[in-house]
Every structure is written in structure tokens, then in C-alpha cells.
Amino acid sequence: MGFLGAVTFDIGPMLKAGSVYLRHPLVADYAAWRHVRETSRSFLAPWEPTWGAGELEKASYRRRLRRYGQEIRNDTGYPFFIFRQSDHQLVGGLTLAFVRRGVTQTATLGYWMGEAYAGQGLMTEAAEVAVRYAFDTLQLHRIEAACLPNNAASLRLLEKIGFTREGYARSYLCICDRWQDHVLFGLVAGDRIGGRPAIAAG
């Protein structure tokens, strides 16, 4: 169990894929998370919402983990940190967010990678195992993702995994202090993931 003041939650599954493994974030990950985020700030800034004051402080990290714990318990979000298998180095993060049940059975995939670890195929492995977990274990039917039109690496990643371009949303998200257009992607149970079919949700 992870402990956050008065909040506890299971550390959850460990998802393994090739060179990486994924698990839910812990308090003990703070130093590694801060280092990767801090040293990658200029690399990440064009693709993320503007960081707030104290974004990297421990108090902010603990609030983040409390929110994560609540989302896991409520079945509304599943956050993961990505670690390199060879040395257990934290290299990035990935979230299955905004889980909707009922007739939708959908989640939104989001992700980030530290600058020193980008371009090595690690996120491709991580995202593929995460979407398989979403279909096979969480029994979701559909996963959505959105990407800035000029983020070539992210566009390639989503298409390599098997996502299909489904549309273009104007002024979709506030990224880097500006409302920006996004390319919309979708992946449904039964589509091929990384060249292999996904297991359809029941």
C-alpha cells in the first residue's frame, strides 16, 4: 500500500513490456520524478499546460498523488510512472484518464517522456502495454488521444501503436498558455495494437 497522510491506496499492477515496466506513482518516487521533470522542462513545455507555481515542490507532488489515489478508487483514472527495466530509472509517465463507464466504456490516453529518454522506443512499449491493460483488464471498449498537429513524435507514436486519426478539434486544449488545435485519435477493442489485435471487451 502507498501512504499519503490519511490516504492509502494499492500500488496496483506492474505492467511489463520489453525495456520498460509501469506502476502507479508512490511518495518514494518524488526525487526521481522531480529530477526528470526539472531537467526536461524546456523539452516538455511546448506540449503541456503551463506549469503552476510550486509545480515541482513536494507538497504539490503529494496533492497530485492524493488525486491519483482518489481517481483509482473511483475507477475514473489510472496513472502510471514508466521505469526502464535495466536500471529502474524513472523515464516518464502515462495516464488512462477520464474513464467513463456505462454505454461509453472509454478513457483518454496521455503521456510524457523525459528528454534524456526520448526517441528510444520506450514510450511506444509503455503505451502499447497500457492500452492492452485498458482493454484486457479494465474492460474498456475505446481509448482516445489528442495531439498537437506539429508534434511529429507523438503523431508517429499513436499511429505506430494502431490509433486512427478521427478528426481535428479547433482550440481544443490550453497548452503552453494558448488554446491550441489538436488532432484527435481513437483506438477501439478489436483494432490491431502494434501489429496484433486487441482483445475485445465483453
| Residue keyed to cell 495531439 | 147
φ and ψ of 145, to 5 deg: -150, 155
Please state the rounded mean pLDDT for residues 42-68.
94
Contact 22, 126 (CB under 8 A): yes
For residue range 139-197, list pLDDT tens digits in order.
Answer: 999 999 999 999 999 999 999 999 999 999 999 999 999 999 999 999 999 998 975 55
Q: What pLDDT is recorded for position 194?
A: 78
The predicted pLDDT at position 53 comes to 86
pLDDT of residue 196: 59
Asked if residues 86 and 68 have their Cβ atoms less than 8 Å apart, the reply is: no
Q: Give the pLDDT mean for 94-111.
A: 98
Strand order of the β-sheet with 90-100 is: 15-17, 20-23, 78-84, 90-100, 106-113, 142-147, 178-188, 164-175
Sign of CA dihedral 175, 171, 63, 123: negative
Q: Is the pLDDT of residue 68 over 90?
A: yes
Rg of the chain (C-alpha set): 16
Domains of the chain, earliest start first: 13-197 (3.40.630.30)
